[in-house]
Amino acid sequence: MQYFTLNHKISFYVPSTSKVKAKISNDELTKRTREVAELLTGYFGGASVEKIQGFYKAQNGQYVTETIQRVFAFTSDLDLEKHSEDIMNLAKNKCLEWKQESIGLEIDNKFLLID
């Protein structure tokens, strides 16, 4: 029996809002999630999605609650090194495109806010 270990986990937090509190449609959230999942699958060979509830304090002081789709993938040292910049650029681009204050990105249990 052969096996290999993917010892890194990358999670991309897909928000269900735009401009802090404006809810997007379910279709738009599905589109965002699928796009990120397909990109992670291309980089790392597969991805999974889980629905979570998020809470944060916006820059204007408002408390925001939203549904978040956490898209995650496991990867090797080599592929993490190869695609780290791609993942950071993806987060920066989606932050602008989706009109976010920041995008949550988690790499090996370290949470990054990308703006």
Q: Over the stretch 74-110, which tens digit does the pLDDT of each residue have?
A: 999 999 999 999 999 999 999 999 999 999 999 999 9
How many domains does the chain contain in total?
A: 1
Count, in order, helices (H) and strands (E) of the chain: 2, 7
The answer to whether residue 87 is domain-embedded is yes
- Whether 1 maps to a domain, the answer reads no
Distance of CA 77 to the CA centre of its chain: 19
pLDDT digits (tens, 9 = 90+) for 36-71: 999 999 999 999 999 999 999 999 999 999 999 999
Is residue 3 a part of any domain in this protein? Answer: no
CATH number, position 75: 3.30.70.120
**Which distant-in-sequence residues (6+ apart) come within 8 Å of 25 by Cβ?**
none
Return d(Cα 76, Cα 95) in angstroms, integer: 26
Residue 74 maps to a domain: yes
Look at residue 2 and tell me if it is in a domain: no
Q: Is residue 22 part of a domain?
A: yes
Residue 18: name the closest of 58, 48, 52, 46 by CA.
Answer: 58
The structure's pTM equals 0.94
For position 44, what pLDDT does the model report? Answer: 97
Tokens 């703006």 map to which residue?
115
Please give the residue range of the domain that contains residue 66. Answer: 8-114
Would you say residue 4 has pLDDT above 90?
no
C-alpha closest to that of 84 among 114, 113, 107, 101: 107
Domain presence at residue 35: yes
The answer to the question of residue 53 being in a domain is yes
H-state helical runs in 1-115? 26-44, 77-97
